[in-house]
A and B are shown apart, each in its own frame.
Chain A
Amino acid sequence: MKKRNIILTIISMLILIVVLFFIDKNLDSYNTRILNLCAIYVILALSMNLVNGFTGLFSLGHAGFMAVGAYTTALLTMSPDMKAQNFFLAPIIKPLANLTLPFFPALIIAGLVSAFVGYLIATPVLRLKGDYLAIATLGFSEIIRVVFTNTQTLTNGALGLKGIPDTTNIWWTFGMAAVTVIIITSLINSSYGRALKAIREDEIAAESMGINLFKHKVLAFTIGAFFAGIGGGLLGNLLGTIDPLMFRFILTFNILLIIVLGGMGSITGSIIAAFIVTIAGEALRFLDETMNLGFITIQGIPGLRMVVFSALLMLVVIFFRHGLMGTKEFSFDKIINKFSRKPSEKGGDQ
């Protein structure tokens, strides 16, 4: 990277840290919660975009990986007393009863477990194409959820877990989000990334160029699962309580909406869309409630918000197929060149 870009990046990082300080000290917990959710959705969107947007694999199994990540982190960070309190119907299995780890290792382990589950699923499933892959991944996500509902001694079944230490704060979420952005950006800009994009564009051509389809697909899938697990873990520790019903298909749908909106091949797009959708989700509460416009009162129609979101997804995919950013990324070069009227130095897609 050019020296100027490196300096600009460092400055932006410093600005971000200052902003985070400000938020931590001054913002009330409601807004902080929303921002935390935004950052978590950034991680989830990026993890899904890696698989769906960059490699072109239509995977709908994200909720399952999130569940694995959330439960792993929760079970590893909860204190033995909390666990005893929670598992009142059937005691938790022996090895986990007294095991408690600090947050960071628990999170990483959660990511690794998710990645492992992703790897196990990837091996049979990635031989399928298109629609079959979608349904198969959806199926696995449901299987994971059904298993979690029935394994009373491991996950406390339908009762869910409560009293998960709420270690997630603005530093963790934005920190992990930044790390995710950096890792995925470097992955995409490396030769692996180019191979993935080639697979997305035309599998047969990529294969004839010598790219090992299966190996690369499994790689993308596993890494996607890793970050999904981390996102799930952060979410669990933000809410303080989780249960299997949280991880239904609608969760995957929300993330799908974000990446479609942002542009399926764009990291910047996913980040922007994650913020927009999360904030809009809260801001659009009024759609479900009674609106008092002063001169008339429009009776609130519960459920209208989801109708708007579904319609939005369809509109975007039909009319604005490339979403907000298409496959373009944010770069300092482009912005500076815009304002300097010089012909751009690099050609082609970034």
Chain B
Amino acid sequence: MKKKISIMLATLMISTMGLSGCGKKAPETGTTGGDVIKIGVFEPMTGANAAGGALEIEGIKLANKLYPEVLGKKVELVLVDNKSDKVEAANAASRLVEKEKVTAIIGSWGSSLSMAAGDIVKKAQIPTMGTSCTNPLVTLGNEYYFRVCFIDPFQGTVMANYAFNTLKAKKVAIVQEVSNDYAIGLAKYFTDSFKKLTGDPNCIVAVTNYNTGDQDFTAQLTNLKAKNPDVIFAPGNFTESALVIRQARQLGIKTPFIGGDTWETPEFITTGKEAVEGATFSTFFATEKPITKESEVFLTAYRKEYNGKEPAAVAALGYDAYIILLDAIKRVGSADSVKLRDELAKTKDFQGAAGVINFDENRNAVKSAVIKQVKDGKFTFKEVIEPVK
């Protein structure tokens, strides 16, 4: 019996390979014929990063609803899940490029996932618009990868400036999520900028690490308390950061905490409760201070679509990724991927919902950052920081 099963399965396997072999090698560039232009969306819909992915998809879908057509053709979104896993991300991107034959791709939340798709989109010459992936490596050396957000070096500098200028800090301690590329990137750039600003090589009094998924930070925080910093910089995902700040307050540490854009989620406040009052961070977008006219369009539409819910910054980025692609397609006049890439690179002063976008020589968006603070249990806007031109 077992042998029969195995022979059947072996035949099945060979026939699957044979059937899939019937798919000939397709033309490389994505020129979709007919009345539909396909835009691939490759985000984590399951797995560890599903939350971030879901928010971005909200923004992208909203943009598609508001602007469903370009050049008289309907724009169809093809969503593929990269499952928050690198291997799957490569498969997902490959699928979009080969099977779905998309003209362009939007994605992804999570720089490591975006990097997995890098080579594939480069070889297939499909321009890809990153949404919130801030690791500089994503666009480095890859002419087909763009992003609508600024990168870690900029964000680190922004927070260093805030700590030095606004908070008048001379000594900073860093608590970083060492297994998170975003966190260590931010920490390094913050350190470099802060050292330059203070002129004091010992201004970072302590650097302590924790891993993703850790829940107990009391040991690390107790050490920090002894060093008496003016400000604590804690880049890391909101899950851990909320607990870090909470435990810090429980240990009697009254120092202000600053961090990065990953803090801007509802769970940061519901988990951190009173402890996170006053926590300040940099992010891409503020609902109270619409930066452009498109911001207002986005906000109104979002609130209507999602029943009064306030949009997360990454949703605005997803929205921008979509409309900037559409704008470039309009300028090119066709869905030719290679021409689209060149046109995208020429984008100047694009009015996105999350700010005015210009691409630098590495296809990263040069735009302003927004500082937000937790006040009375809500994220409130503090100020806008312009990029150094």
A-to-B contact residues, CB < 8 Å: 19, 22-23, 25-31, 33-35, 37, 85-86, 88-89, 146, 149-150, 152, 157-160, 162-163, 166, 235, 238-246, 268-269, 272, 275-276, 279, 282, 285, 288-289, 302-303, 305-306, 322, 324-326, 328, 330, 334, 338
Contact = CB atoms under 8 A, between A and B. Distances in A.
A243 B113 CA distance: 10
Given A88-B136, A279-B16, A288-B81, A22 B181 contact: no
Contacts of B141: 85, 163
Contact of B94 (A30, A303, A306, A330): A30
B65 to A, nearest CB: 18
A235 B88 CA distance: 12
B21 A26 contact: yes
Interface residues of B, number: 56
A288 B46 contact: yes
B10 A243 contact: no
Given A31-B20, A302-B46, A159 B181 contact: yes
A272 B188 CA distance: 47
Contact of A35 (B2, B17, B118): B17
A86 B137 contact: yes
A285 B46 CA distance: 11
B23 A334 contact: no
B112 interface: yes
A247 to B, nearest CB: 10
A31 to B, nearest CB: 5
Binding site secondary structure of chain A: helix
B122 to A, nearest CB: 10
A89 B20 contact: no
A268 B135 CA distance: 43
B24 interface: yes
Interface of B: 2-3, 5-6, 9-10, 13, 16-17, 20-21, 23-26, 45-47, 50, 79, 81, 83, 85-87, 90-91, 94-95, 97-99, 112, 115-116, 118-120, 123-124, 135-137, 140-141, 178-181, 183-185, 188, 209, 211-212
B184 to A, nearest CB: 6
Given A30-B95, A302-B45, 13 more contacts: A25-B25, A26-B21, A85-B140, A157-B184, A158-B180, A239-B87, A241-B118, A243-B86, A246-B85, A272-B6, A276-B9, A276-B13, A334-B3
Contacts of A152: 184
A158 B6 contact: no
Contact of A23 (B21, B98, B116, B188): B21
Contacts of A26: 21, 24-25
B17 A245 contact: no
Given A160-B181, A325-B2, A326-B2, A289 B137 contact: no
Nearest to A242: B86
Q: Considering residues A35, A146, A245, A303, which has the most beta carbons from chain B within 10 angstroms of its beta carbon?
A: A245
